[in-house]
Amino acid sequence: FDTIRVTTDEIGVATLTLGRPDKHNAMSGQMIAELAAAAGLLANDDNVRAVVLTGEGDSFCAGADLAWMRALASAARDERIAEARKLAMALRALNELPKPLIGRINGQAFGGGLGLMSVCDVVIAADTAKFGFTEVRLGLIPATISPYVLARMGEGRARRVFMSGQIFDAHETSGLGLLSPAVP
């Protein structure tokens, strides 16, 4: 893999690390494909008992890579739909992983990063992390991630924050049901 790393320790805990720290681990088409492939490999590896999802560097995941999104904006409708479907399938593969998926949120998570958090069984974040559905600032809605975010936080909370573009601290994000504890 070029944009992610997968390591497994001696007791069967695999760590799936988003590896584009220079881009705040923003998801590109390549990263999305690699996440789906890694989920398939981890699901079928009998030596893996649990998976930790984290990000390299100061950010967990800044959402979608803006350069990738700009390129898609000028693509044909069929291609845009296909790329959105790839993200949906990667999220589904992680959501249905037959092993516990633990989110270790080391820093900011925006847009699609909240989608990745929402497919985790347990999410623990650094108490300094920041969160937000910031795609609305670009005129986009949190569409592809919404089934998982809604399942995690509930429709009432989602209605309050989905379109706000607001940045949340770890305490408020915990109150929204998106993560368990926030720790130093």
DSSP assignment of 103-134 equals: EEE-SEEETHHHHHHHTSSEEEEETT-EEE-G
Residue 22 has a CB neighbour count (10 Å cut-off) of 9
CATH number at residue 79: 3.90.226.10
Q: For residues 79 and 27, give the distance between their C-alpha atoms in angstroms, rounded to a whole number.
A: 17
| Number of independent structural domains in the chain | 1
**Helix (H, G, I), strand (E, B), or coil: what is residue 2?**
coil
Domain of residue 171, residue span: 4-183
Please write the tens of the pLDDT for every residue from 107-129: 999 999 999 999 999 999 999 99
**Cα distances (angstroms) measured from residue 140 to each of 68, 109, 134, 164:** 14, 17, 9, 12
- Taking only the tens place, the pLDDT of each residue in 51-106 is 999 999 999 999 999 888 888 888 899 998 998 899 999 999 999 999 999 999 99
